[in-house]
Chain A
Amino acid sequence: MTLTSTPAAVSPVVRRRSYGRYVGAKALAALGSLFFVLVVNFFLFRVLPGDPARTLGRGRFKTEEALERFRSTYGLDQPLAQQFLTFLKNTFTGELGISLRYRVPVSELILDRLWPTLLLVGTSTLLAAVIGVYMGMVSAWNRGRTVDRVWTWASLTLYSMPEWWLGLLLIAALAVGIGPLPGLFPTGGLESVDVGDGLLARALDTAWHLTLPVITLTLAYLADYSLVMRSSLLDEIGEDYVVTARAKGLRDIDVRRRHAARNALLPTTTVVALNIGFVVSGAITIETIFSIPGLGLLASEALEIPDYWVLQGAFLVASAAVILANLVANMVYGLLDPRVRT
């Protein structure tokens, strides 16, 4: 009986959703996550600190009337449900409150500080992904040899390092200089005071300022990508189709590049895309030590005051970045690997 049955009868064909429906479902889930983030955001800042009027005012209000005025300005005297609806409306219209420190709307502040972070994070992610994937492949193909051993140890060490500590060491070594060696790079900031007006001069100056922070973030993240690439490539090398490709007489390099590496890139793509969202928050410490005027520095400065509305806005942007990165990762994965659409 088993001989006569068709393969289809043995394993019934799984009906796959169309790509559109798959993306739709993922987008819906992303919206759910976004809503959750908003709820967390709302409650963290209004419920946990006790009386927000006192916490946010930080003892500035001496009289009960002043407190009352503050409460009604921020709508704190209304029922919680009403406050939540107002909060939702405000968030979607881009009203995130006024910074206690800068006295400007938080949304303006965030937009203003967005591009240094994007530049820093974008460049580092790209470099880390390319170098990480390449090193992971080299490592996997030379499994057990010296290259692999040295690199695996190096990546594990990088992985165990707080990235800002690495940054501090790089500042000490390459920006300040050791002993008679002069510093090569600026210790911080995004542009020199005496830079000319030329577009090229300014771009080069910014690149020069961003070199050390980008190296730091790249080193911090490439270890992760390399370890993922290495282990997923080793998983693929053991698969039947690789053996088949070898048995067909394909050259080793073709088997690796065309067959194994392509499939091993799948999980790595997800990790890279997912990480982009988290790199935004990783920028908090890096921007702090290199004093780059981006979102991260904004958040860590807000921490000292504490500037609640700025913190809330930064948290929202960081969470939204992860959710967006997650959605993009899912969309890319759905294209590359239709099996996940079941």
Chain B
Amino acid sequence: MSLTARQVTRQRRARALRRTWADFRRRPTGLFGLALLVAFGLAALLAPVITDVADLRVTTAPGGVLEPPSGEFLLGTDDSGRPVLTLLVWGARISLLVGLLSTAISVGIGALVGLLSGFLDGWPSRVLFRLTEWFLVIPFLPLAIVLATVLGRSLLNIAVVIGVTSWPATALLIRSQTLSIKERPYLERARVLGAGRWHQMTRHVLPNVMPMIFANTTLTVAIAILSETTLSFLGLGDPTRVSWGSMLQDAFDVGAMTTGAWWFIVPPGICVVLVVLSFTLVGQALEEIFDPRLRRRR
């Protein structure tokens, strides 16, 4: 029985995946984060099924203004009479969507720049590294505010703004990983056998930095969701959609904390904390699995 090179690779990857999962299952904090994320993800996906869309419209809102929690509205209503629980479920969609979208942009740019600046030599590498350093010193919030003001307020724009401002950290991490992999003997062997740059990069370097990129992605989602919340709170989010940040902006604008309408302020914040915490816990667990040096810190 002989196997092709492709089949061997696939089997090896499947084994690696199973090993990672077995490793992950032994980490209770990682599992806790994953379980929470699955719960939030399901709620977001099933939003049209478990809630009534009509409740979201200000004109067809079922409740009175800022009603406290009751049997009918478990978490009370907002300043337009919409149930807070329904808003939370729909807000999860936007917060998660923007978080994932901006992470895709951020990790995409960061990984590409990091890989190239680590792998190439000479001036292209130096230019990319400088560029990363420059972007690293630009403070996120002011740049994001300026970009959001200039680009306009929409869901895609806010994702672009977060993505474009948060990639340098990823780039630096991937660069240092690439640099260390570049010096390993098997890459020297590949070079001696005549492997081109493209081959070395896609077949040797990329598969080896992939786990780090994956762990970093999870951590970036956490930061992206926090950023989305802050930008929406400052009124830079998509005005036509409900997100946890825009709920908090509403709550702040109607002075919910001075009128004692805690049900309008506490739940959205708790959702943000839980989701960000979950992504962080999962990311840390993955980092530990992929980078054994981190284990002694536990």
A residues adjacent to B (C-beta < 8 A): 29, 32-33, 36-37, 40, 44-45, 48-49, 144, 156-157, 159-162, 164-165, 168-169, 171-172, 176, 187, 230-231, 234-235, 238, 277-278, 280-282, 284-285, 288-289, 299-300, 303-304, 306, 308, 311-312, 314-315, 318-319, 321-323, 326
B residues adjacent to A (C-beta < 8 A): 130, 133-134, 137-143, 145-147, 149-151, 222, 226, 229-230, 233-236, 248, 251-252, 257-258, 260, 262, 265-266, 269, 272-273, 276-277, 280-281, 296-298
Offer 21 A-B interface pairs, CB within 8 angstroms, sorted by A: A29-B133, A37-B134, A40-B143, A45-B146, A165-B272, A168-B248, A168-B252, A172-B265, A277-B137, A285-B141, A285-B230, A303-B234, A306-B149, A311-B145, A312-B146, A315-B145, A318-B142, A319-B139, A319-B142, A321-B139, A326-B137
- With A157-B273, A311-B146 already in contact, the answer to whether A303 and B235 are too (CB < 8 A) is yes
With most chain A CB atoms within 10 A of its CB, the pick from B130, B134, B139, B234 is: B139
Give the residue name and chain of the A residue nearest to B274 (CB).
A160
- Asked if A176 contacts B257 (CB within 8 A), the reply is yes
- Asked if A162 contacts B281 (CB within 8 A), the reply is no
Partner of A169, one of B143, B151, B235, B265: B265
* Chain A interface SS verdict (over half): helix
B294 CB to closest chain A CB (Å) equals 8
The CA-CA distance from A187 to B133 in the complex, in Å, is 39
- Asked if B280 contacts A156 (CB within 8 A), the reply is yes
Residues of B within 8 A of A156 (CB): 277, 280-281
The CA-CA distance from A290 to B54 in the complex, in Å, is 35
- Asked if B139 contacts A234 (CB within 8 A), the reply is no
Give the residue name and chain of the A residue nearest to B268 (CB).
A165
Residues of A within 8 A of B145 (CB): 284, 299, 303, 311, 315
* Chain B interface SS verdict (over half): helix
The CA-CA distance from A89 to B185 in the complex, in Å, is 53
Residues of A within 8 A of B137 (CB): 33, 37, 277, 319, 322-323, 326
Residues of B within 8 A of A314 (CB): 142
- Asked if B234 contacts A176 (CB within 8 A), the reply is no
- Asked if A161 contacts B139 (CB within 8 A), the reply is no
A299 CB to closest chain B CB (Å) equals 7
- Asked if A45 contacts B235 (CB within 8 A), the reply is no
The CA-CA distance from A65 to B114 in the complex, in Å, is 50
B243 CB to closest chain A CB (Å) equals 12
Additional A-B contact list (10), CB under 8 Å, known A49-B150, A176-B257: A144-B298, A162-B269, A164-B230, A168-B251, A168-B252, A187-B258, A234-B297, A285-B233, A315-B142, A319-B142
